[in-house]
Chain A
Amino acid sequence: QSVLTQPPSASGTPGQRVTISCSGSSSNIGGNTINWYLQLPGTAPKLLIYNNNQRPSGVPDRFSGSKSGTSASLAISGLQSADEADYYCAAWDDSLNGPVFGGGTKLTVL
């Protein structure tokens, strides 16, 4: 049982905009910034979004993040087949004194 809650799956067609939600509590998302990771099959996770809505160098601006209260969301616009992957949200948890993750959302491009 993951500390942060994400839908297990999401889907969209090429070119479409998709959003993935992530909910937590006051000890994690409510009081700290959210990070998002992308994991392609058989590979290590890659940082996609940090500080709620910042993109590391090299991440296309098709990916955007937002946060409100104890929830956050990742939006992917102009969906591409290469975006098929597992997406994880994460945030620092003040009670745990460590990062907590969502269970992951498997994105399918139809």
Chain B
Amino acid sequence: QVQLVESGGGLVKPGGSLRLFCAASGFTFSDYYMNWIRQAPGKGLEWVSFISVGSSDTNYADSVKGRFTISRDNAKKLMYLQMSSLRAEDTAVYFCARRAKFGEGASDIWGQGTMVTVSS
């Protein structure tokens, strides 16, 4: 079935780095734009980054620009989020989500999320 599974989350110290993974299955991964969206504990959703099908187009929220890098490997059906210079305010559940082919920027498939905690 159509599925996204995130991994790579954990506890990291402020200033540290972490790499998140999103594994796709059940659909043609290379046909879809992909997003990272996060949710701080008890808070709402915040878009983090998107990547185009061929990786030529990416964008980031201002809050992570210059610190996070999104990438993908279509052959492996994987998307990545390299996070560096992490701050306490980056603590959140990070979801990978497929951008739907309908709607403007709607995300129609979501993973279960992976928790990132930035704390000393």
Contacts and interface: CB of A to CB of B under 8 A. Distances in A.
Interface in B73-111: 95, 100, 102-108, 110-111
Contact of A45 (B61, B62, B102, B110): B110
Interface residues of B, number: 23
Contacts of A47: 100, 106-108
A28 to B, nearest CB: 10
A92 B100 CA distance: 13
A50 B103 CA distance: 5
B100 A32 contact: no
Interface in A12-71: 32-33, 35, 37, 43-47, 50-51, 54, 56
B20 to A, nearest CB: 15
Interface stretch (B7-15, B23-31, B39-47): B39-47
Contacts of B62: 96
Contact of B102 (A46, A51, A91, A100): A51
A44 B112 contact: yes
A45 B45 CA distance: 9
A104 B45 contact: yes
Contacts of B107: 37, 45, 47, 99
Contacts of A97: 59
Contacts of B102: 50-51, 54
A102 B46 CA distance: 9
Given A97-B59, A98-B59, A32 B44 contact: no
Contacts of A2: 44
A101 B103 contact: no
B26 to A, nearest CB: 15
B57 to A, nearest CB: 9
8 contacts: A33-B104, A44-B95, A47-B107, A50-B100, A88-B44, A88-B45, A99-B105, A101-B47
Interface of A: 2, 32-33, 35, 37, 43-47, 50-51, 54, 56, 88, 90-92, 96-104
Interface of B: 35, 44-47, 49-50, 59, 61-62, 95, 100, 102-108, 110-113
